[in-house]
Amino acid sequence: MNQIAEIQIVPIKPNNGLIGFASLVLDQKIYLGSIGIHTKIEGSGYRLTYPTKKIGDKNINLYHPITRELGIVIEQAILEKANKVFKRCNEGSKNVGYDSFINP
């Protein structure tokens, strides 16, 4: 099914490539939040990271897509919305993220 709804993008002040967070509702059954949006190292586009919790020396995955197909669906939906948000926030600005979001 993989129906994605209620995508929210929250730009933040850039920090080591992290420029925002996304949340969404999957199949009208589960809310997924704290999905990191990062600029790609190559400089073109964005990549996603899913939340983890550090326990001792280990990082434990809180959740992430199990299938490649679901990962692609989530990525496409979030990045489509993120591109619109960041473009709108940064029209006329070279900065991406929080600063230009609060000072359009």
**Using an 8 Å Cβ cutoff, are 16 and 52 in contact?**
no
**Using an 8 Å Cβ cutoff, are 36 and 47 in contact?**
no
Higher-confidence position of 18 and 87: 18
Residue with tokens 């704290």: 34
Query: From CA 29, how far away is CA 39, in angstroms rounded?
Result: 29
Which residues make beta-bridge pairs with 30? 26
Higher-confidence position of 42 and 54: 54
Domain coordinates in residue numbering, the chain:
4-90
Q: Give the pLDDT confidence of 53-94 residue by residue, as tens digits.
A: 999 999 999 999 999 999 999 999 999 999 898 887 766 455
The per-residue pLDDT for 98 is 46
pTM > 0.75: yes
Query: From CA 59, how far away is CA 51, in angstroms rounded?
Result: 10
Single-letter amino acid code for the residue at 43: G
What CATH number is given for 4-90 in this structure? 3.30.1120.40
